[in-house]
């Protein structure tokens, strides 16, 4: 019998919140992998009983890097449940807030999280200690990327400033509410927002996109290393007032494209730290934390679409939008994410032109005060769903499935691995710190604060957190 060598990395750094990687190797090749979120936190239970109109404000607090994605998704869920109509201005402002949040997220992910896997910074914090293995850039290229790393922080800040133009502040803005946007439109806001995005566009053309091309040139093997399940999904998003989306909606399952239907979304918790249950639609779930359950190894549940593990995120969006992709591995994801920044930044210019100063941005009229619904919108990392049941204006039940849960959930009832776990299989590892695996994991831009959002008031104090 082959004896596999176990290597554990904790925490996997340069992602959002604590991730543990347990890799099982044979002759330097990953044969199996478990990815665990060790942080227990959450939101769904604390939403119960609260005013449905407050959902964008509460749910944004799930995360600081994708806050407006939760805001817009929860607003959509509540609007659908209560029969609310959003005026055109409100819709456009929400797109602008979310767009600027996508831009800051993608720029930060690339420079602060992903690129340090490929270039060697100076002998200073935050670049030390260095991971010395498999560095392929010249000294001159390393110096240029170090300069761009710091420049990227300024440009991402400009994107956050654009967010604050219509959102009041960033993150956790005040602009997105059920019924539209809470602020009005005037020429000053339009021109300030435009100015920030023009700064972003110049950075993209002159710095970011050439940097990504350089990395791909030096590391061509990573264009295909780290492929996921081969299944892709997008809920669509950034709707125009006419109802067309900048992102298309759809699913690619085993090579065939089909329409997306949220009825096929399920979660099971056979291998997560909850009272076990098989696949259930989010409206049927009643999640009970249980860290004593013997098969559990993570707090992230196992979302599936038609029972399949499915990749979500910028690469999936590019595929479903029928845009060019350069492959299906780690750097193909990073390439797709980089081009997406430009696509979104350019779209903001059209949305700004369409705003009508003086016209309504908000319509709080409701058709009914009870209802059951789902809000779906693409977040930075992929498909985000908020399932809500409202009774007399108050939340009765709330379930959230995030993109990082789709990409990095526990293996499911039938033992099928998540996209993120299966992307590591067969990977040859030479470095002590499993840098090769880190490159692949980070290409998904995982966020583990979004992935676990359950809270259980009293019991949380008694829970034993491992590690
Ligand atoms: Ni905390 Fe989020 C995004 C959501 S998680 S970052 O994008 O939802 O995957």
Please give the chain's pLDDT, 467 residues, in tens.
Answer: 678 999 999 999 998 778 999 999 999 999 999 999 988 766 787 899 999 999 999 999 999 999 999 999 999 999 999 999 999 999 999 999 999 999 999 999 999 999 999 999 999 998 999 999 999 999 999 999 999 999 999 999 999 999 999 999 999 999 999 999 999 999 999 999 999 999 999 999 999 999 999 999 999 999 999 999 999 999 999 999 999 999 999 999 999 999 999 999 999 999 999 998 899 999 998 778 888 989 999 999 999 999 999 999 999 999 999 999 999 999 999 999 999 999 999 999 999 999 999 999 999 999 999 999 999 999 999 999 999 999 999 999 999 999 999 999 999 999 999 999 999 999 999 999 999 999 999 999 999 767 665 544 444 333 333 33
pLDDT for 46 equals: 84
CA distance 198 to 26: 50
63 in contact with ligand 1, CB cutoff 6 A: yes
pLDDT for 448 equals: 79
CB-hemisphere CA count at 13 Å for 183?
22
Instruction: Looking at the CA of residue 449, tell me the nearest atom of ligand 1.
Output: 1
Residue among 35, 237, 303, 403 to mutate when testing ligand 1 (max atoms within 8 A of CB): 403
pLDDT for 455 equals: 43
pLDDT for 457 equals: 43
Q: If you measure from the C-alpha of residue 62 to the centroid of ligand 1, how many angstroms do you get, rounded to a whole number?
A: 9
pLDDT for 360 equals: 98
pLDDT for 381 equals: 98
69 in contact with ligand 1, CB cutoff 6 A: yes
CA angle, residues 318, 256, 402, in degrees to nearest 5: 50
CA distance 346 to 351: 9
Q: How far is CA 427 from the centre of its chain?
A: 24
Instruction: Looking at the CA of residue 400, tell me the nearest atom of ligand 1.
Output: 8
Instruction: Looking at the CA of residue 384, tell me the nearest atom of ligand 1.
Output: 8
381 in contact with ligand 1, CB cutoff 6 A: yes
Residue among 303, 398, 402, 451 to mutate when testing ligand 1 (max atoms within 8 A of CB): 402
What's the per-residue H, E or C state across the chain?
CCCCEEEEECCCCCCECCEEEEEEEECCEEEEEEEEECCCCCCHHHHCCCEHHHHHHHHHCCCCCCHHHHHHHHHHHHHHHHCCCCCHHHHHHHHHHHHHHHHHHHHHHHHHHHHHHCCCCCCCCCCCCCCCCCCCCCHHHHHHHHHHHHHHHHHHHHHHHHHHHHHCCCCCCCCEECCEECCCCCHHHHHHHHHHHHHHHHHHHHHHHHHHHHHHHHCHHHHCCCCCCCCEEEEEEEECCCCCEEEEEEEEECCEEECCCHHHEEEECCCCCECCCCCECHHHCCCCECCCCCCCCCCCCEEEECCECCECCHHHHHHHCCCCCCCCCHHHHHHHHHHHHHHHHHHHHHHHHHCCCCCCCECCCCCCCCEEEEEEEEECCEEEEEEEEEECCEEEEEEEECHHHHHHCCCCCCCCCCHHHHCCCCCECCCCCCHHHHHHHHHCCCEHHHHCCCCCCCHHHHCCCCC
Residue with tokens 């498999």: 134
pLDDT for 3 equals: 83
pLDDT for 41 equals: 65
Residue among 61, 448, 450 to mutate when testing ligand 1 (max atoms within 8 A of CB): 450
Instruction: Looking at the CA of residue 446, tell me the nearest atom of ligand 1.
Output: 9
The structure's pTM equals 0.95
Angle formed by the axes of helices 139-167 and 88-108, nearest 10°: 160
Name the region of 187 (left: φ>0; alpha: ψ -120 to 50; beta: rest): alpha
404 in contact with ligand 1, CB cutoff 6 A: yes
User: What is the token pair recorded at 273?
Assistant: 């730290």
Closest CA to 237 of 63, 336, 376: 376
pLDDT for 48 equals: 92
Nearest CA, atom 4, ligand 1: 402
pLDDT for 463 equals: 35
Instruction: Identify whether the C-beta of residue 315 lies closer than 8 Å to the C-beta of residue 325.
Output: yes
pLDDT for 375 equals: 98
pLDDT for 441 equals: 98
Instruction: Looking at the CA of residue 381, tell me the nearest atom of ligand 1.
Output: 7
pLDDT for 42 equals: 63
Instruction: Identify whether the C-beta of residue 58 lies closer than 8 Å to the C-beta of residue 50.
Output: yes
Residue among 376, 380, 444 to mutate when testing ligand 1 (max atoms within 8 A of CB): 380
């Amino acid at each position: 019998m082959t004896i596999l060598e176990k290597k554990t990395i904790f925490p996997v750094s340069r992602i959002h919140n604590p991730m543990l990687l347990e890799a099982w190797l044979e002759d330097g090749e990953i044969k199996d992998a478990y990815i665990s979120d060790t942080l227990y936190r959450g939101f769904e239970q604390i939403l119960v009983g609260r005013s449905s109109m407050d959902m964008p404000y509460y749910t944004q607090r799930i995360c600081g890097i994708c806050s407006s994605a939760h805001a817009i998704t929860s607003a959509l869920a509540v609007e659908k449940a209560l029969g609310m109509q959003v005026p055109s201005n409100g819709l456009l402002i929400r797109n602008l807030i979310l767009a600027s949040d996508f831009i800051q997220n993608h720029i930060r992910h690339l420079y602060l999280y992903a690129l340090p896997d490929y270039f060697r910074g100076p002998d200073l914090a935050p670049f030390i200690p260095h991971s010395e293995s498999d560095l392929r850039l010249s000294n001159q290229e390393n110096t240029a990327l170090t300069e761009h790393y710091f420049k990227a922080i300024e440009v991402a800040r400009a994107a956050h400033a654009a967010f604050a133009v219509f959102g009041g502040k960033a993150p956790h803005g005040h602009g997105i509410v059920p019924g539209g946007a809470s602020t009005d439109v005037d020429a000053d806001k339009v021109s300030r927002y435009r100015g920030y995005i023009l700064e972003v566009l110049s950075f993209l053309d002159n710095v970011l996109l050439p940097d990504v091309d350089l990395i791909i040139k030096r590391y061509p093997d990573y264009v295909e290393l780290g492929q996921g399940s081969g299944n892709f999904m997008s809920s669509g998003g950034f709707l125009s007032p006419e109802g067309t989306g900048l992102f298309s909606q759809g699913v690619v399952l085993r090579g065939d494209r089909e329409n997306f239907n949220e009825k096929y979304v399920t979660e099971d918790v056979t291998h997560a730290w909850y009272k076990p249950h098989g696949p259930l639609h989010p409206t049927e779930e009643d999640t009970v934390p249980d860290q004593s359950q013997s098969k559990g190894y993570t707090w992230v549940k196992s979302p599936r679409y038609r029972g399949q593990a499915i990749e979500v995120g910028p690469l999936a969006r590019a595929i479903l939008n029928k845009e060019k992709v350069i492959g299906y591995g780690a750097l193909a994801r990073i390439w797709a994410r980089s081009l997406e920044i430009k696509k979104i930044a350019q779209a903001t210019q059209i949305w700004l032109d369409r705003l009508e100063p003086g016209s309504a941005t908000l319509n709080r009229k409701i058709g009914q005060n009870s209802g059951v619904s789902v809000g779906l919108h693409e977040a930075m990392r992929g498909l985000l769903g908020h399932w809500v049941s409202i009774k007399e204006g108050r939340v009765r039940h709330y379930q959230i499935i995030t993109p990082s849960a789709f990409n990095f959930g526990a293996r499911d009832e039938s033992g099928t691995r998540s996209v993120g776990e299966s992307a590591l299989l067969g990977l040859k590892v030479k470095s002590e710190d499993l840098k090769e695996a880190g490159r692949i994991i980070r290409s998904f831009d995982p966020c583990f604060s979004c992935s676990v959002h359950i809270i259980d008031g009293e019991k949380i104090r008694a829970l034993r957190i491992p590690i």
